[in-house]
């Protein structure tokens, strides 16, 4: 995905535009998959983050050159958690301490009662007008080793939206995202093409990512 609204918009206008477009795309994706779904989506975000607290982004439509994105989540208490996000931007390695609030995204297919399917992410140090990002888990595998995640990001001067295929550290080398690959491709079929790329997605994880992460510990 990697979608943008008009460059003539102010930051506030652009974010509203992107948020509405983001919500619309999530709604369309879930609605088109509903014939194969139960009454509720299969997502249980608290359970996913508990069973897979260390997660890599394997494939993404994120614009730019960020790779090796990795999240290490702590314990979830009162629907809140703190975590460390590692990523590489060109040749620069970055580590951020973040906090997340689990919530229910207002979409067609809600999770079962008492479950969550989205997370609002904020910086633990810098207070912002808007959340750093909002992430909607559209699908997770039965063994909770992978997930398809739609991201609405406000970390830069512009608001962007993209799609991730995320995989747990325990399976990233053996069978990364097998149960989620088909859903990732299905969701991508509803998202607009990126003209600068021959395909809609790019690889975020490489065999060097784990070594780069180890160097920071």
Total domain count for the chain? 1
Q: Is the model's pLDDT at 17 over the cut of 60? A: no
Report, as an integer, the average pLDDT of 88-100.
96
Q: Distances from the Cα of 82 to the Cαs of 13, 41, 101, 150, in angstroms?
A: 30, 25, 9, 20
Share of the chain residues as helix, strand and coil, in percent rounded to the nearest 5: 25, 35, 45
> Helical H runs in the chain?
11-32, 45-51, 178-188, 209-214
- Give the range with max mean pLDDT: 26-35, 75-84, 102-111, 186-195: 75-84
CATH number at residue 89: 2.40.128.20
Please report whether residue 4 resides in a domain.
no
Q: Distances from the Cα of 189 to the Cαs of 2, 4, 146, 182, 210, in angstroms?
A: 14, 18, 19, 11, 30
**Strand ranges (E), 48-109:** 54-60, 66-73, 80-89, 92-103
Confidence band of 166 (pLDDT split at 50, 70, 90):
very high
Domain containing 81 equals 11-214
Please report whether residue 3 resides in a domain.
no
Report, as an integer, the average pLDDT of 58-82.
96
């Amino acid at each position: 995905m990697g979608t943008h609204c008009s460059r003539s918009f102010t930051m506030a206008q652009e974010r509203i535009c992107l948020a509405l477009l983001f919500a619309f795309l999530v709604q369309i994706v879930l609605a088109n998959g509903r014939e194969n779904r139960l009454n509720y989506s299969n997502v249980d975000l608290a359970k996913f983050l508990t069973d897979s607290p260390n997660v890599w982004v394997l494939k993404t439509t994120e614009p730019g050159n960020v790779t090796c994105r990795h999240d290490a989540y702590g314990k979830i208490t009162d629907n809140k958690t703190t975590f460390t996000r590692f990523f590489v931007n060109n040749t620069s390695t970055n580590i951020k301490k973040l906090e997340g609030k689990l919530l229910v995204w207002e979409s067609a297919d809600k999770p079962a009662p008492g479950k969550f399917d989205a997370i609002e992410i904020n910086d633990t140090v810098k207070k912002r007008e808007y959340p750093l990002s909002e992430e909607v888990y559209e699908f997770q595998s039965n063994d909770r080793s992978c997930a398809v995640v739609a991201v609405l990001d406000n970390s830069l001067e512009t608001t962007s939206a993209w799609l991730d295929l995320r995989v747990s550290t325990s399976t990233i080398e053996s069978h990364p995202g097998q149960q989620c690959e088909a859903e990732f491709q299905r969701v991508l079929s509803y998202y607009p093409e990126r003209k600068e790329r021959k395909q809609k997605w790019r690889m975020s994880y490489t065999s060097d990512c784990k070594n780069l992460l180890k160097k920071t510990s």
